[in-house]
Amino acid sequence: MNENTEISLKHGTSNRSISKIALCFVLGMASIITLYPLIWMLYTSLKSNKDISMSTFALPTTLHFENYANAWKQANIGTYFINSIIVSVTAIIFTVFIGAAAAFILSKFRFSMQKGVYSIFIVGMLIPLQSILVPLFIQMRTLRLLDSLWSLILTYTAFGLPITIFIMESFMRAFPDEILEASIIDGSPIYKMFLKIILPMTKPAIASVVILNFLNNWKEFSFALIFISVEQKKTLPLGLYNFLGAETSNYAGLMAALVISSIPVIAIYLLLQKQVIDGMTAGAVKG
Amino acid sequence: MDIIRKNVKYIIAGLLPALLIYFIFVLYPIVRSFIYGFYDWNGLSEPIYTGLNNFKIILTDEVFWQSFKNNIFIVLFSIFGQVPIGLILAVILSRNIKGAGFFRTAFFIPMMLSTVVVGLLWSTILNSQVGIINSILEAIGLEELTQNWLGDPKLAMLSICAVIVWQCFGYYMIIFLAAIQNIPEEILEAADIDGAGELKKLTNIILPMLWPTVMTAVVLCISGSMRSFDLVFVMTGGGPANATELMATYMYNKTFAIYQYGYGSAVSLVISVISFGLIIISRSLMSRNLSD
């Protein structure tokens, strides 16, 4: 408010309203370009393929909810959806427990090579996925894990560790060292203290780590593409990729499938916007 | 106290699971890929050591250089597309205008979608029959501008880059917004007292203070573009006629379509070296700019 009055004092009203119109125009255009494709995806998913070929713009005349039912059942989206849930959630549970234990040791214990171990994990944030695709495929083949959801669960766990340890270690470092002393006095074993005191205290960090890893795992495509080839084990991104090949011009069905796979991430985003954005930019702000 | 803090048993028990899984699925494979790069191997038979031969073939393969050029094109398009757009929108939204929250929320949504969803959505939008882009052009009487956006080798790369900007500009906007909010109020107030206009404040205070963030954004553009695979793989598969081939799709096609694991490993080694090299070069260039 203050700022605006000051501008008008300096530049007069006409100048101010021109710049205001320009700003509105820029923001309006940017919003249309960003949102219209998504809105189009939503209403196209409710049209019939005949309607789509007659006019791409027109809103649906009757709502074809059966597109969703067909995508879920006939196009296997239901199976992919459940696989994606299993893989994402299992990998998160592993990442959080394993990562929290490592972060706890790295932040509160003292040993030689401590810095080195920490750096090894952090460097993982910079590793381009491509440098690992081929050897990891061979590794999975050796371990006989191809076409098993475990190949994805273990890979996502390993790839989630660097950012998880980074976030949790810096959070736990702020805890007072007396926490450890309390455990000696109590005489309770350290793993009990870790589960009952440390983990609950780390809740905010766990929340961002869980969200971040869920989004990464949910969206991941490259590893799924090379590890999984059987229909019953495909995750959503991989299943969607095959959708077009299988049903060439079923655009209504495709849009329904895209909407189904986007609902969880959009819901998480709208409900937990602050944590989502903080988590996704945590790596970037660090550089 | 120290008895606990230096207890080797606890340290090992806490670190071992993380180290083990990280070593088996990240570090060890990287080391192996270094080694495979020097072998001729189809994944089944005994690998044959061929020295630098794979690298020679890569560096003389025209398709590889085409894909390298395309990667660089994406890097430049990102640096001069997403970064300025994100910066402009961040500056606008930082001025406490009405509805800033809505715009911030909206612009970040594409970033939430998986690249496969974005790729399939935009393949449909750019589709020359049912796509909305051509329909819009027809509706406003610009039929001669309708194109086969992904099928024309001259346009395909441009279309892909536009989709990347659509998906990512919100991310850069958020990074810049956070940086702008970190600029101390007092500095801007002092500028007000000195009678600096909005434009002056922008060019003399806000932009210089954002420079480190711009640098981070450029590095993110480079590492992101070097990694890009999903979008191109879904939208064009590297076609038409290698027009959109990237180093990563090149590697995928060489490795998994025709089973040249040794060669594919060598390509991934080259990608890693190139992207680290680019990041180091851009960092040193931009920090020199800063001290000028």
Distances (CA, A) of B177 to A203, A211, A285, B87, B171: 26, 22, 12, 8, 10
Residue A260 and residue A68 in contact, taking contact as beta carbons nearer than 8 Å: yes
- Please judge whether A109 and B11 are an interchain contact, meaning their C-beta atoms are less than 8 angstroms apart: yes
For the cut 70, the answer to whether the pLDDT of residue B265 exceeds it is yes
Mean pLDDT for the stretch of residues B13-17:
93
B46 is a domain residue: no
The total number of structural domains that make up chain B:
1
- Please judge whether B1 and A41 are an interchain contact, meaning their C-beta atoms are less than 8 angstroms apart: no
- Tell which of B12, B121, B245 to mutate to test the A interface (max A CBs under 10 Å): B121
B136 → chain A, closest CA residue: A57
B192 is a domain residue: yes
- The predicted pLDDT at position B162 comes to 96
B32 is a domain residue: no
Averaging pLDDT over each range in A57-71, A176-190, B269-283, which range is the top one?
A: A57-71
Closest approach of chain A CAs to the CA of B220, in angstroms?
7
Mean pLDDT for the stretch of residues B147-171:
93
- Please judge whether A53 and B130 are an interchain contact, meaning their C-beta atoms are less than 8 angstroms apart: yes
Residues 6+ apart with CB under 8 A from B232: B160, B238, B244, B245, B246, B248, B249
pLDDT one-digit tens code per residue, A89-137: 999 999 999 999 999 999 988 888 899 999 999 888 877 777 788 889 9
ipTM, two decimals, is: 0.88
Averaging pLDDT over each range in A117-126, B58-67, B208-217, which range is the top one?
A: B58-67
B214 is a domain residue: yes
Ranges A52-66, A99-113, A268-282, B278-292: which has the least confidence: B278-292
Task: Assign B49 to helix, strand or coil.
Answer: strand
A270 → chain B, closest CA residue: B105
- Please judge whether B25 and A158 are an interchain contact, meaning their C-beta atoms are less than 8 angstroms apart: yes
User: Which of B106, B116, B223 faces A221 most closely, judged by CB atoms?
Assistant: B116
Going by pLDDT thresholds of 50, 70 and 90, the confidence category of residue B292 is very low
Q: What is the DSSP string of B202-238?
A: IIIIIHHHHHHHHHHHHHHHHHHHHH--HHHHHHTTT
Tell me the Cα Rg of chain A: 25
Going by pLDDT thresholds of 50, 70 and 90, the confidence category of residue B105 is very high
- Which carries the bigger pLDDT value, residue B108 or residue A132? B108
> Considering the entire predicted model, what is its pTM?
0.89
Structural domain for B263, as ranges: 53-58+70-291
- Please judge whether A281 and B178 are an interchain contact, meaning their C-beta atoms are less than 8 angstroms apart: yes
- The predicted pLDDT at position B174 comes to 94
- The predicted pLDDT at position A226 comes to 93
Instruction: Take residue B64 and report the two structure tokens written for it.
Output: 């590889």
B152 is a domain residue: yes
Instruction: Take residue B89 and report the two structure tokens written for it.
Output: 């929108």
Instruction: Take residue A272 and report the two structure tokens written for it.
Output: 């937990």
Instruction: Take residue B241 and report the two structure tokens written for it.
Output: 């006629």
For the cut 60, the answer to whether the pLDDT of residue A10 exceeds it is no
Closest approach of chain B CAs to the CA of A255, in angstroms?
7
For the cut 90, the answer to whether the pLDDT of residue B10 exceeds it is no
Mean pLDDT for the stretch of residues B202-218:
88
- Chain A positions touching B132 (Cβ under 8 A) are 37, 40, 56-57
B41 is a domain residue: no
Mean pLDDT for the stretch of residues B154-178:
94
For the cut 90, the answer to whether the pLDDT of residue A280 exceeds it is no
Distance CA B138, CA B179 (A): 42
- Please judge whether B268 and A132 are an interchain contact, meaning their C-beta atoms are less than 8 angstroms apart: yes
Average confidence score pLDDT of chain A: 87
- The predicted pLDDT at position A8 comes to 43
- The predicted pLDDT at position A103 comes to 96
B266 is a domain residue: yes
Interface of A with B in 43-62 (CB under 8 A): 52-53, 55-57
Closest approach of chain A CAs to the CA of B154, in angstroms?
23
- Please judge whether B171 and A56 are an interchain contact, meaning their C-beta atoms are less than 8 angstroms apart: no
- Which carries the bigger pLDDT value, residue A197 or residue A259? A259
Going by pLDDT thresholds of 50, 70 and 90, the confidence category of residue B228 is confident
- The predicted pLDDT at position B1 comes to 58
Q: The domain spanning residue B267 has which CATH number?
A: 1.10.3720.10
B265 → chain A, closest CA residue: A134
Does the beta carbon of A222 lie under 8 angstroms from any beta carbon of chain B?
Answer: yes
- Please judge whether A215 and B96 are an interchain contact, meaning their C-beta atoms are less than 8 angstroms apart: no
For the cut 80, the answer to whether the pLDDT of residue B4 exceeds it is no
B28 is a domain residue: no
pLDDT one-digit tens code per residue, A29-71: 999 999 999 999 999 999 988 888 888 888 888 899 999 998 8
Does the beta carbon of A112 lie under 8 angstroms from any beta carbon of chain B?
Answer: no
- The predicted pLDDT at position A283 comes to 61
Please give the backbone phi and psi of residue B39, each rounded to the nearest 5 degrees, phi first.
-120, 155
Average confidence score pLDDT of chain B: 88
- The predicted pLDDT at position B34 comes to 85
DSSP annotation of A124: G
Ranges A151-160, B35-44, B51-60: which has the least confidence: B35-44
- The predicted pLDDT at position A206 comes to 94
Q: Which residue segments constitute the domains of chain A, with CATH numbers given?
A: 2-63 (no CATH), 67-286 (1.10.3720.10)
- Chain B positions touching A31 (Cβ under 8 A) are 103, 106-107
Segment A199-207 long-range contacts (CB within 8 Å, at least 24 positions apart): A199/A100, A201/A175, A202/A100, A202/A168, A202/A171, A202/A172, A204/A171, A205/A167, A205/A168, A205/A171, A205/A172, A206/A96, A206/A100, A206/A168, A207/A272, A207/A275
